[in-house]
A and B are shown apart, each in its own frame.
With several copies, the nearest count.
Chain A
Amino acid sequence: MAAGVQSNPFASSRKSGNRLKNNLFTGLVWTVGICTIIFIIGLLFLILEKGMPKLSIDFLLGLPDEIMEGGGIGPALFNSFYVLIISLVISVPLGMAAGIYLSEFAPDNKFIGFLRVCVEGLASVPSIIFGLFGIVLFVEAFDVGLTIIGGAVSLAFLNLPVLTRVTEEAIRAVPQEMKHASFALGGTHLQTIRRVLIPVALNGIITGICLVAGRAFGESAVIILTAGVTTSGVMWDFNLLSPGETLAVHLWYVQSEAIVPDAVEIAEKSAAVLVFIVLMINLLFRIPLWLNARKTR
């Protein structure tokens, strides 16, 4: 037994500014974290509280009305999903493939570096410019007018750069050893990407898709210019060449121009629906991750 030391030698010996800093830091992080949580909850409450209780099936599936109270958002809601799905179907494979190219195949030279910067730059182009681009492409060049497909493709273009870079980063973050293990077993590059890199990078990629899907769902400027502010006026219209007002656009319209007496209420309800659906999308995309995590437990 060592000499009868009374005081504990490991009790914080140094007067320790470090310790103070650590406590301050931990406190700060917790404060910021809690404030963020409160803020988000407050914001959600603010948006959902007014709209959610008044929601009804009639509102969700009904047709909008310009004169009478009680109009619904059916076609716009439907278009929102339709446009979102089409745009994801286009942008996710394209963006992922481009991201995989940048992380796995691209030579490490100046030109690719330049390209990478360009892709990031593209992410900063305001959506209205994608809207103008969409007009040039669909309304002027292809002359299809204001359509769902035009809106969806323009939206896909808008999301492409983010998806590309997120995929690239996520795949880059996969440890080299895993890649080597797969190659050493005789895996082709494609197999390695498909079976190791993408599954391991999935978390990051899904985060990217969630970000993009949320943004697409709430985007209005692009849709106003390329898909218009009208719907075909009937439910379940799958025609790609129909005009494609989405819920976010409808919200914008109701907020800025509509004359109906219950415009404010419609806006509140639409905002609540939008936010609620984005929350659902986020959860939905996470299910595969969650299952994956459970499977390897």
Chain B
Amino acid sequence: MQAPTQTQALIEIDKLNLYYGTFHALKNVSMEIPEKAITAFIGPSGCGKSTLLRTLNRMNDMIAGTRIEGKIAIGGADIYSKEVDVETLRKKVGMVFQQPNPFPKSIYDNVAYGPRLHGITGRKQLDEIVETSLRSAALWEEVKDYLKRSALSLSGGQQQRLCIARALAVEPDVLLMDEATSALDPISTLKIEELAQELKDRYTIVMVTHNMHQAARVSNQTVFFLNGEVVEYAETEKLFSTPRDQRTEDYISGRFG
């Protein structure tokens, strides 16, 4: 079951199995994620989309009792090998979460957090990074006069955009988005989607989404999950127009709009 990708595969997942204790959350997942393109994960709640996404930057490492079998390679390098520095991996593979999670710090400090972690301290340089990132996340206009305010005073939508800005600030190669727009209004969502389109020229983006239209609209390649398995995995147009699997068809025909 190989997807015909136009671009080269950046991430290769090979027979991945993941267990939470005794719960088998990912079952024999294999796929290739192309470079400089957007890959969307879709599937019903609890099917393991977030779990797979988190294996890509090894955020699952921190959940006690998680066991992984199989292999994930990014740019040819096995990211679960001993010599991999998790922090460097995570800098290169940024992530935006399902729930907005800004730090209880000022807006500025939130965005500057990542760059500071990685050794950037120059005030000017930071100012610039903060502005660029906030602009990219379509938040700059709204907050430029309040950069010192606590990030927690923002509305839900604004908070999520801030988190996106924060992820962009470390200039990752890969950007993982776990339903990152589900808390946004259409206008901001649109902006983020446009942004994603723009970014894919430079970055590899993997997004989990519940919004099939978003997947159809934005992604180059779509993966459909069910109960921890990859049911279908194809170019987006193909998957939505001529699904090969009955379950895929059932699922996407449950769509609306």
Contact = CB atoms under 8 A, between A and B. Distances in A.
A12 B167 contact: no
Interface stretch (B41-49, B81-89, B135-143, B240-248): B81-89
Given A8-B83, A18-B119, A296-B104, A184 B76 contact: no
B74 interface: yes
Residue of A5, A10, A180, A199 with highest tally of chain B CB at under 10 A:
A10
Contact of B77 (A5, A14, A182): A5
Contacts of A295: 106, 148
Given A9-B92, A108-B64, A18 B87 contact: yes
A132 interface: no
B118 interface: yes
B106 A2 contact: no
Contacts of B149: 296-297
Interface in A171-202: 175, 177-188, 191, 195-196, 199-200
B170 interface: yes
A4 interface: yes
A175 B163 CA distance: 16
Dominant secondary structure at the B interface: mixed
A20 interface: no
Contacts of A54: none
Interface in A1-57: 1-5, 8-14, 18-19
A80 to B, nearest CB: 36
Contact of B117 (A2, A12, A187): A187
Interface stretch (B93-101, B123-131, B193-201, B210-218): B93-101
Interface residues of B, number: 48
A10 B113 contact: no
B74 A10 contact: yes
Given A5-B77, A185-B114, A187-B87, A177 B94 contact: no
Given A185-B113, A186-B87, A8 B77 contact: yes
A7 to B, nearest CB: 8
Residue of A8, A13, A108, A184 with highest tally of chain B CB at under 10 A:
A184
Given A185-B114, A295-B148, A296-B150, A12 B104 contact: no
Interface of B: 8-10, 12, 35, 57, 59, 62, 64, 74-79, 81, 83-85, 87-92, 94-95, 97, 99, 101-106, 113-114, 116-119, 148-150, 163, 166-167, 170
Given A1-B9, A1-B76, A184-B95, 16 more contacts: A2-B10, A5-B75, A5-B77, A8-B78, A10-B84, A11-B84, A12-B87, A181-B102, A182-B103, A184-B97, A184-B167, A185-B114, A185-B166, A186-B170, A296-B106, A296-B150
